Amino acid sequence: MSTLTTIKRAAITAVAHYVPDEVVPNSFFEAYLDTSDEWIKTRTGINTRRILRQGASSDLALPAVKKVLEKRGISVDEIDLIIFCTVTPDMLFPATACVLQKKIGAKNCWGFDLLGACSGFLFGLETGRRFIESGAAKKALVVGADKMSSITDYSDRNTCPLFGDAGAAVLLEPIEETEFGILDSILHIDGSGGEHLYMKAGGSLNPASHETVDNKWHYVYQDGKTVFKSAVVGMADVSAEIVQKNHLTADDIAYLVPHQANLRIIDATRERMGLAPEKVMINIDKYGNTTAATIPMCLSEWHEAGKIKKGDYLVLASFGAGYTWGSILLKWAY
């Protein structure tokens, strides 16, 4: 005899973030590079970024995860899944999810790392959603944390002002109210864009050697103009598409929550969606591009400020190396 199981909606039930104390202003780069505060702000929207001198990505995630557990009022033993989204793992293995699991003392969970570059958190959120909806997990931590300073060439003026370090995390749980939670997603990859944004060495293709170190292949490389052109179209189109697909309008959307890579890309996405400026979460001016941490960090800051309320429609959108890009539609549940 077969039984029908009602799929429960996956919802974010807590969110928190962490940034290091050290603030690096644009004037830092002015002091030794052929650049200026005005040039950086005009082209990127960035004023400052945070840098972690000592420690790794797990150390950026740890305070955020502790805050999530505290906010939700649950024991770490209730966590049954950790998805750690990062391009700067503590080590290639063991997974940083394992490192974090040890640091928080979680006894009853499993987990893994997910590498989706700047779209990593969206990919992780969608993956966590499926575990929750299937019943395979009841409390899943989705973490976005990157120590971008560890793979940034501070002699390359085209990339070094762009990145910062941060960690953020959300808790996903099933909810009975199916009108809330994660409603839909549209996610893409296109490997033909890989030649424009990558880190050449450190994997099995180019293992660490004198040559790879001397050639600075362990740092981020970006063809900025090409990536910008692709990101403007990709992120804008997929954000508008998910709204239309779900028969909503700009008036229905409380906030666009975009990946914080470049203010001009964010503005193009907002205009494509027909949203007013006050309907966009922006903190790139304070933190720069923190890769997998940008979207959950926006959610955390806006929620702490009381700007998100239950029932708000949010569109999360990203574009990153791979290429990877996508959007997620959710209705805030708490």
The residues annotated as belonging to the active site are 118, 259, 289
169 class by beta-carbon count within 10 Å (0-12 exposed, 13-18 middle, 19+ buried): buried
Nearest to 301 by CA among 89, 67, 25: 67
**Cα–Cα dist 166/59, whole Å:** 9
**Cα–Cα dist 106/125, whole Å:** 20
Total Cβ atoms within 10 A of residue 155: 11
What CA–CA distances, in Å, run from 148 to 53, 162, 178, 182? 11, 9, 37, 28
**Cα–Cα dist 217/201, whole Å:** 5
Kindly report whether the peptide bond that precedes residue 94 is cis, defined as omega within 30 degrees of 0.
Answer: yes
**Cα–Cα dist 102/321, whole Å:** 30
Over the Cα atoms of the chain, what is R_g?
Answer: 19
Q: Residues 106, 76: contact at Cβ < 8 Å?
A: yes
What CA–CA distances, in Å, run from 105 to 138, 173, 228? 18, 20, 41
Q: What distance, in Å, lies between the first and last C-alpha atoms of the chain?
A: 37
CB contact set of 70 (below 8 Å; sequence gap of 6+):
none
DSSP 198-240: E--SSSSSS-S-HHHHHTTTTS-EE-HHHHHHHHHHHHHHHHH
